[in-house]
Amino acid sequence: MKHRNEIKVWDPLVRLFHWTLVGAFTVAWLTEDDWMALHAYAGYVIGFLLLFRLIWGLLGTRYARFSDFVRPPSRVAGYLFDLVRLRAERTIGHNPAGGAMIVALLITLLITTFTGLLAYGATGAGPLADLLFSNSEYGSELFEEVHEFFANFTLSLVVLHLLGVAFGSLLHGENLVQAMITGTKRA
């Protein structure tokens, strides 16, 4: 039951986006070598999720909008400075560092997904198959390298993301993971 001092922060679509992304990203990781068809499907899911999130960042509910959480680098740096002194302010939506992390994750996920499509296309499969480089010998390997690099880069951001979530939860005595599940936070 919702308590009186709880407020709605994450709308259902943001939550569905987040946990579907976690699932699809996990599947993509586990299938990268031996389950190419499934790997590609996980990638398509991530691609559609990203398109949705870009639109929802413009048209979505209050705390889902980029305008609510994308802050200039000086604000992000100031927030991180306060964070190491354990004095960072509590925010209802994403904090400035969290916002920067989300932008970074969305960008690396977009690059990873797109280079995955290109690498897949170069092997003659997927929606980009007959577009540019069907049966090209070079394309596939090059795109694969770039794809792998950005997949690894995204994973390292995810590790930082989880550390940030844990740290923010401890600092303000609230469970941010639970908030991303229920959608509510204390006011």
What are the residues binding ligand HEM (CB under 6 A)? 14, 17-18, 21-22, 25, 53, 64, 94, 98, 102, 105, 158, 161-162, 165, 176-177, 179-180
Cβ closest to ligand HEM, residue 17 vs residue 150: 17
Q: How far is the CB of 98 from ligand HEM (least distance, A)?
A: 4
Cβ closest to ligand HEM, residue 100 vs residue 117: 100
> Rounded to the nearest 5 degrees, what angle is found at the Cα of 147, between the Cα atoms of 112 and 141?
155
Which helix (H) or strand (E) segment holds residue 38: the answer is helix 36-59
Q: How far is the CB of 123 from ligand HEM (least distance, A)?
A: 24
Residue 20 contacts by C-beta under 8 Å, 6 or more apart in sequence?
45, 49
Q: How far is the CB of 107 from ligand HEM (least distance, A)?
A: 11
Pick from 111, 125, 105: which is nearest to 37 by CA? 125
Q: How far is the CB of 130 from ligand HEM (least distance, A)?
A: 30
Cβ closest to ligand HEM, residue 64 vs residue 117: 64
Q: Are 68 and 98 in contact (CB under 8 A)?
A: no
In the chain, the N- to C-terminal Cα span, in Å, equals 15
